Structure 1
Amino acid sequence: MGCDGGTIPKRHELVKGPKKVEKVDKNAELAAKWKYCALSQEKLKRPIVACELGRLYNKDAIIEYLLDKSAERPNTEVVAHIRSLKDVKELNLTDNPAWEGERRNIKGDCYEDMHLAMFICPVVGLEMSGKHKFFFLQTCGCVFSERALREVKTVICHKCGDPFQEEDLVVLNGTKEEVETLQKAMEERRSKAKTAKKSKKSKDTKVSKTQDSAESCKLPQNPSESKSASENGEGSSGSSSDSAPGPSTSGESLKTLKATAGPFTGSKRSIQDMKDKSEAFKSLFTSHSSAKRTKDQTSNWVTHTPYHF
């Protein structure tokens, strides 16, 4: 095929060998993990949060995901384990004084070092670019390098002073083996929380049942006891008929009190019917016979205009 100009084809031009495996650029991979959000693939900006598996996110992206989980997103499997904002921790990061940000290179005429990290370790000063291992504390959210935790061994946070344990340390952007161990620890922690919640509910139900049983024990169980109590109540109410009846009097005692009270109880008694009052006293009221007038004595009302001339 061709070769009419004295060219000799080589073997790699005629025989196609196996395709070479494309290698991922390590610098690009590190930049994708440490400078961009794992969910929205946007640049990390404060406030920055981390999940229990050590991935970095923008807090705004997590809130949008929790508000609308049905929306189509490219990396939903990365945040499948996040149920609420309690499953993430806002990080307390230390800014890198050598990083000037994007304001310096607005026009694009300056050199921008892509390997320069935005944050550093507050103890040792190592850059958080992925070349060194970093941890964050689930108690306070402070971030430190592995070298700082190894060289300065303490149980108190170097930055805020809060106490912590080794179980509170979570590696950021760890390897597959480290992510698997973190996932197992997360599942164990959540299962323990569920069992504790169930035991608390069972205890609450037991306490309510004991209270109900105690209240039922206070009430009379036998009908003979209730009858004797009612008879005693009637006898006491009958003996104290002279005194004013209280709210605890029974129906029969009220009937006896009404019978002995007289015909004037429950209705208005006229003053003219009182025999102990004199006629002069009775004549002061309009119900007296002297105050009554005949039809001839009563005057007719005549309507007129209210104007006076």
Structure 2
Amino acid sequence: MGCDGGTIPKRHELVKGPKKVEKVDKDAELVAQWNYCTLSQEILRRPIVACELGRLYNKDAVIEFLLDKSPEKALGKATSHIKSIKNVTELRLSDNPAWEGDKGNTKGDKHDDLQRARFICPVVGLEMNGRHRFCFLRCCGCVFSERALKEIKAEVCHTCGAAFQEDDVIVLNGTKEDVEVLKGRMEERRLRARLGKKTKKPKVAESVSKADVSEESPGPSKPKPGKPEEASLDSREKKVNSAPKNTAGGSTSGKAGKPPCGAPKRGIADSEESEAYKSLFTTHSSAKRSKEESAHWVTHTSYCF
């Protein structure tokens, strides 16, 4: 069966063994990581940004991804951790003077050397082509090689002079171990930011409530600084002015003031008001007269004379 013509099959043609694992070309992988956007798979063009895990993106591609609110938007490993434009940092890259780009390829028949990097380290001069470890500072966005950090140890950026900490150093296109370390730092940083926002909100609420309480129930006013003699004179004048003006021999006003708290109430008959004012009340002697004496055309009951 199947051996017509005297052919002799070999063992690997009849017996199927396990498939061989395809090996990824390292040079092609380096070119894809350092020359193409991780999100749009287009050639990197300024402005170039990097995430907190050290991946490179075109800024336009990241903005379009964040503005896209459609449910069909694909969320992969490269973009699942990017929630806003604040999660990426714009990079300050130094151009490689030996890189010509597409200037000499006017006819389209020239081979582009992708092994030559577009950017270099401004401190040591190494090319950023993936063969050397590069990193950037999250505080300022400056990019330089890891060798520059090790050889020239400083707490200030080598290019712009901004102060940085160890947490701000992020390796570009690092290994799996580097990505795990950067991911842990990213989660801790975001957790600290959330806790900071939660602690700020109660403090603001407490300050607002204290202000409301102070407005509703103000405390005793503090005396203004001055001489003790002047303060005592002012207090005496206030006491004299606040004392009741109605005395036994003094003049009376048209309306009686309110009696002080706790003082016994006095009747209208015993008051010092005028007789015309007292006659308005039923307790006056004029109100006790008989109906015949106080007959008037305005009466409570009808009278026929």
TM-score (norm 2): 0.68
Q: In the TM superposition, what is the alpha-carbon distance from 1:12 to its structure 2 partner?
A: 2.5
Partner of 2:8: 8
Change (3 A) 1:234 1:201: farther
**Deviation of residue 234 (structure 1)?**
11
User: Which AA in structure 2 matches 1:15?
Assistant: V
CA contact (8 A) 1:119 1:128 kept: yes
Calculate percent identity across the aligned residue pairs.
63
In the alignment, which residue of structure 2 is the partner of 1:57?
57
- 2:145 paired with 1:138: no
Q: Distance in 1 between matches of 2:84 and 2:39?
A: 15
Alignment CA distance shift 1:9-1:235 (3 Å): farther
State how far apart, in whole Å, the 2-side matches of 1:235 and 1:217 are. 31
Q: 1:206-238 CA deviation, whole Å, 9 max, x = no partner?
A: 111111111122289xxxxxxxxxxx69979xx
Residue of structure 1 equivalent to 2:97:
97
Task: Name the aligned partner's letter for residue 64 of structure 2.
Answer: E
What does residue 175 of structure 1 align with? 175
Per-residue CA deviation, residues 256-279 of structure 1 (Å, 9 max, x unaligned), is xxxxxxxxxxxxxxxxxxxxxxxx
Q: Which residue identity is paired with 1:136?
A: F
Are the counterparts in 1 of residues 122 and 159 from structure 2 also a CA contact under 8 Å? yes
TM-score w.r.t. structure 1 length?
A: 0.67
Structure 1 runs not aligned, ≥5 long: 221-231, 242-309
- 118 and 69 in structure 1: CA distance in 2 versus 1, 3 angstrom threshold: farther
The one-letter code of the counterpart of 1:58 is: N
Aligned to 1:115: 115
Unaligned runs of 5+ in 2: 221-241, 254-305
Deviations 1:80-138 (A, max 9, x none): 21121111110000111111112322423223212111111111111111111111001
Contact 1:54 1:174 in 2 (8 A): yes
1:47 aligns to what?
47
The Cα RMSD (Å) is 2.7
Instruction: Tell me if structure 2 keeps the 8 A contact 1:93–1:143.
Output: yes
Aligned length: 229
CA shift for structure 1 position 76 = 3.9
Compared CA separation, residues 96 and 73, structure 1 to 2 (3 A): farther
Residue of structure 1 in register with 2:82 after alignment: 82
Aligned counterparts, 1:202-217, within 5 A = 202-217=202-217
Letter in 1 for 2:199: S
Change (3 A) 1:74 1:31: farther
Whether the aligned pair in 2 keeps the contact of 1:38 and 1:75 (CA below 8 Å) is no
Structure 2 residue matching 1:167: 3-state secondary structure: helix
| 1:132-171 equivalence runs, <5 A | 132-171=132-171
Tell me the SS of whatever aligns to 1:27: helix
Corresponding position: 1:199 with 2:199: yes
